[in-house]
Amino acid sequence: MNSSVAARAVNLEKKYGSGDTTVHALKGINVEFAAREFTAIMGPSGSGKSTLMHCMAGLDRVSSGSTFIGDTDLAGLNDKKMTTLRRDRLGFIFQSFNLVPTLTAAENITLPLDIAGKKVDKVWFDEVTSRLGLTERLSHRPAELSGGQQQRVACARALVARPKIIFGDEPTGNLDSNSSAEVLSILRTAVDQDEQTVVIVTHDPRAASYADRVIFLADGRIVHELREPTVDSILKTMSGIEDL
């Protein structure tokens, strides 16, 4: 298998529920995410973006078809192996931030590394948390942080561990434009300098314009793709998809 492919889906289908209430969230997705590339996934609400991210990151089982991280077919992994693979190779920024309420911001950020028994790169930790404006909030628990601060902690947690692949589900969804630009520029640098692979879901054309490639989903299918996107070309494509 081509080692330049960080993750891929083959004929991926995902259904929720059964019988009359079945929701066909993904209807045959074929996609490759190249290593050291930044991909944005866009599309209307309910088009299957989060479902695709969850299936790619092994957080949800597929109904049919396959998903791979590198050469590893996720269907072949038991829960323990899946947990290990996620821990060692993936970072995930959730739509809900998934912070541990009893831990401080700093402890939440280093949790993946602590669990893996890896050392925290203090210089990198300081840089990420300061660029995200978290330095003064590190000893606070999530309940003492604003929504945007919680989201930045979730971003820092994914970034500080420097995973091979970062999946982000609307990682800048609750952020003001300054914080959003910081998160996106750190993600961009992760790809350009640290050879990481980034895949994010976003509704924001400006955020998507940081990517090398934008994939558009509608009703569970990939309907369009842009390379070297600009805010302009993204807006044009979005209005075309709404007219479908």
Ligand X SMILES: Nc1ncnc2c1ncn2[C@@H]1O[C@H](COP(=O)(O)OP(=O)(O)OP(=O)(O)O)[C@@H](O)[C@H]1O
**Binding residues for Mg ion (CB under 5 A):** 50
**Is the CB of 50 or the CB of 196 nearer to Mg ion?**
50
Segments of the chain assigned E as strands: 5-16, 23-34, 38-42, 64-69, 72-73, 90-93, 165-169, 197-201, 213-218, 221-227
| Cβ closest to ligand X, residue 48 vs residue 58 | 48
CA–CA separation, 19 and 111 (whole Å): 41
Q: Which does 150 bind (CB under 5 to 8 A by kind): ligand X, Mg ion, none?
A: none
> Which residue, 94 or 210, has its beta carbon nearer to Mg ion?
94
What gap in Å lies between CA 158 and CA 1, rounded to an integer?
A: 27
H-type alpha helices, 48-140? 49-56, 79-89, 105-116, 122-131
Q: State the residue number with the nearest CB to Mg ion.
A: 50
9 binds, among Mg ion, ligand X, none (CB under 5 to 8 A by kind): none
Q: Work out how close the CB of 49 gets to Mg ion at its nearest, in angstroms, rounded to a whole number.
A: 5
Q: Give the bridge partners for 9, in sequence order.
A: 31, 67
Report in angstroms how near the CB of residue 170 gets to Mg ion at its nearest.
Answer: 7
Strand partners, 243: none
- By C-beta, is 93 or 161 nearer to ligand X? 93
Nearest Cα residue to 91 out of 157, 186, 187: 157
191 touches which of ligand X, Mg ion, none (CB within 5 to 8 A by kind)?
A: none
User: In angstroms, what is the minimal distance from the CB of 60 to ligand X?
Assistant: 8
Q: CB 95: neighbour CB atoms within 10 A? A: 18
Shortest Å, Cβ 169 to Mg ion: 6
Q: How far is the CB of 99 from Mg ion (least distance, A)?
A: 18
Residues in touch with ligand X (CB under 6 A)? 16-17, 23, 25, 43, 45-51
Q: Cβ distance 6 to 197 under 8 Å? A: yes
Residue among 28 and 46 whose Cβ is closer to Mg ion: 46
